[in-house]
């Protein structure tokens, strides 16, 4: 089970982030999780939204460069060493985490972390085999 994420490349200047949120907000798209990484010249805004294809389309119509990628949403025990327990499982299986960020809501007693892996199918198999709950894109979008 994978989750669709959109990545928007934006200039690192005042107002561009607000423009992205205005465009998708006016299109009726709700942001579920986000991550922003920047350099001196540009930023990459990664979003999990409730209407991925619609968000991608309206952003492109407004001149933004947008890509869609697949990420994995995993429940992580919300306690000390909770994230470490999952990262140790992945390390033992030699699965690389390219990046990760937290989700805005909890799932029951657990936190939710969004992971980008170099091999998502293998990561899902390893995590599931080790009792880690992987959330579907539909479930994440509706949280």
* Model pLDDT for residues 52-62, shown as the tens digit of each residue: 999 999 999 99
* Model pLDDT for residues 76-104, shown as the tens digit of each residue: 888 899 999 999 999 999 999 999 998 76
Instruction: Tell me the sheet residues that pair with 38.
Output: 43
pLDDT confidence bin for 38, thresholds 50/70/90? confident
Sequence ranges of the domains in the chain: 3-70, 71-141
Cβ-contact 2, 125 below 8 angstroms = no
Question: Mean pLDDT over residues 103-116, rounded?
Answer: 75
113 or 67, higher pLDDT: 67
Please give the backbone phi and psi of residue 111, each rounded to the nearest 5 degrees, phi first: -85, 165
CATH number of 71-141: 3.30.70.260
Question: Mean pLDDT over residues 124-142, rounded?
Answer: 87
pLDDT at 4: 94
**What is the DSSP track for 29-88?**
--EEEEEEEE-SSEEEEEEEES-HHHHHHHHHHTT-EEEEEEEEEEEEESSTTHHHHHHH
pLDDT at 105: 67
Q: What fold characterizes domain 3-70?
A: VC0802-like (3.30.2130)
DSSP code for 114: E
Q: Residue 114 pLDDT > 70, yes or no?
A: yes
pLDDT at 71: 94
Specify the DSSP element, H or E, that contains 91. Answer: helix 82-92
């Amino acid at each position: 089970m994978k989750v669709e994420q959109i990545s928007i490349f934006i200039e690192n200047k005042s107002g561009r982030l607000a423009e992205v949120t205005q465009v998708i907000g006016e299109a009726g798209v709700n942001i579920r999780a986000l991550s922003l990484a920047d350099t001196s010249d540009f930023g990459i805004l990664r979003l999990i939204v409730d209407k991925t294809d619609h968000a991608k389309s309206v952003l492109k119509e407004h001149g933004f460069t947008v890509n869609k990628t697949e990420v994995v949403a995993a429940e992580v025990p919300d306690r000390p060493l909770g994230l470490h327990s999952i990262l140790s499982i992945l390390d033992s299986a030699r699965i690389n985490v390219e990046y990760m960020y937290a989700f805005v809501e909890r799932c029951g007693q657990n936190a939710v972390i969004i992971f980008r892996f170099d091999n998502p199918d293998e990561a899902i198999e390893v995590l599931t085999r080790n009792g880690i709950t992987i959330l579907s894109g539909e479930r994440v979008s509706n949280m």
